[in-house]
Amino acid sequence: MLTKFQNEFKSLLKIGLPIFGSQVSYVFMGTTDTLVAGRASSTDLAALAIGSAFTHPIWLLIAGVTFAITPIMAQLYGAKEYSKIGYKLGEVLWISISLGLLFLIIYPNLYILVNMLQLESEVARIAGDYLKALSIGMFAMTIFTCLRCYSEGLTLTLPIFYIALAGMLINIPLDIIFVYGYFGVPAMGGVGCGYATSIVSVFMTLTLIIYIARSKNYKVTKPFEKLPFPSMSTFTEVFKLGFPIGLGIFIELAMFSGAAMILSPLGKEIVAGHAIAMNIASFFFVISLSVGLAAATRVGNLIGAKRMSDARFASISSVFLCTMIAIINTIIILIFKDQLSSMFSSEEAVVIVASSLLIFAAIFQIPDGAQIGAIGALRGYKDTFAPMVITLIVYWLIAIPVGYFLTYYGIRNPLGAAGMWIAMIGGLSIFAVLIILRLQWISKKFNRVMS
């Protein structure tokens, strides 16, 4: 049994390690933004935190539909139905372009929502301008995600890593130039991070299009040979699978964004410290996330090949591996929390807040790691609706209300930012247990149907 686990871990890591590299690159782009903006001022850092609180949930709610492409392509690839893959890619590309166009309308107008918050006027202004600067980047990123999911479904994860790495490296000098002002470019503060992100997103998208069109690795699926408008069956399949994925991630990230908004009246030092703790937690989480994303491909391939018992074992392995990684992350964060916090800000008050919250961020890793292993496997089974419902109930009916209560009232005394983190840990732990039970039930169901 141990040998079987080791072999499955190798299969997951073969797919997942390049995904990990890609995810680290994505997170490091955000980390670079935080570092550069934080060194500019706590006002810019707080504005960036508020802007990001809007950016990611809204993008994932809409563009998250394209995440359905990974299990769709993975099952077709496992079944060796190569001729269908290229045709399907043409259909989903049109869906992605249509979704991306929405961001050219939404993001320039998000300042309206920002102005509704109880923020300092300068923080609100910078956050609103940052979101405007992101609009083109979010359009490009939607198309990139479609192509990325297509490539990952074919287990071709290494090219995505190379392109993401290049994007991350380009983002560093662009951030510095636009935030601080060099080479004739005016200093834009936190807003400059938005322009840098847009430029990098366009670069990554164009590079991936060219690579897929020219690389022999994709030729068997004939990408871009046909670009048919989506049929009703494809449209229904993508949205039936993808909308719950996007909405589920939106609900989860909205919990984090809601936490930032709940904490915003406590002052910019608290908001900035919370942003740093979240950024560090996200950076470490990408290791488990990468295995979870690999599980969607691995399980999807096995189901397409009609190997149901192997798919179940791969699912169990993904949960174990993600949890093991999360425990290691917890230990590292607890040991180095002070050093990690000081990397992100030069203001002592912000560093103290961030360091104290990292204790909770470390504990947060364990249930977060377990649930992402299960979620990834469930996507491989094309099971997305029930996880979305569980996410909604646990995060918004339990974690957020409890978090607000603990932050401002508490059982005896208000707990401040710590109260919000305690509630998020509790909510995520409940979610992890429920989603693993769901995976057990689904995998057994597939085995019974095929036996």
Q: What is the reported pLDDT for 42?
A: 74
Contact 84, 76 (CB under 8 A): yes
Q: What is the reported pLDDT for 114?
A: 76
**pLDDT for 407-433, tens place per residue?**
888 777 888 878 888 999 999 999 999
Q: Give this prediction's pTM.
A: 0.82
What's the angle, vertex CA 365, arms to CA 361 and CA 278, rounded to 5?
A: 40
Largest distance between two CA atoms of the chain: 68
> What is the C-alpha separation between 406 and 180, in angstroms, rounded?
39
Q: Is the predicted pLDDT of residue 203 greater than 90, yes or no?
A: yes
107-111, 156-160, 368-372, 433-437: least confidently modelled range: 107-111
93-118 as b/e: b if 16+ CB within 10 A = bbbbeebbebbeebbeebbeebeebe
**pLDDT for 153-194, tens place per residue?**
998 999 999 999 999 999 999 989 988 888 887 777 778 888
**pLDDT for 337-362, tens place per residue?**
888 888 877 677 888 888 888 898 89
> What is the C-alpha separation between 158 and 40, in angstroms, rounded?
35
Contact 29, 197 (CB under 8 A): yes
Tell the burial category of 451 from Cβ atoms under 10 Å away from its Cβ (0-12, 13-18, 19+): exposed
> What is the C-alpha separation between 129 and 191, in angstroms, rounded?
6
* pLDDT level of residue 451 (50, 70, 90 thresholds): low
Q: Is the predicted pLDDT of residue 449 greater than 70, yes or no?
A: no
The DSSP H or E segment spanning 396 is none
**pLDDT for 26-43, tens place per residue?**
878 887 887 887 777 777
> What is the C-alpha separation between 429 and 366, in angstroms, rounded?
8
DSSP secondary structure string for all residues of 21-88: HHHHHHHHHHHHHHHHHHHH-HHHHHHHHHHHHHHHHHHHHHHGGGGGHHHHHHHHHHTT-HHHHHHH
**pLDDT for 61-93, tens place per residue?**
888 889 999 999 999 998 888 889 989 999 999
79-83, 195-199, 317-321: least confidently modelled range: 79-83
* pLDDT level of residue 6 (50, 70, 90 thresholds): confident
> What is the C-alpha separation between 15 and 394, in angstroms, rounded?
31
- The sign of the dihedral angle between the CA atoms of 273, 278, 280, 281 is positive
DSSP secondary structure string for all residues of 163-193: HHHHHHHHHHHHHHIIIII-TTPPP-TTHHH
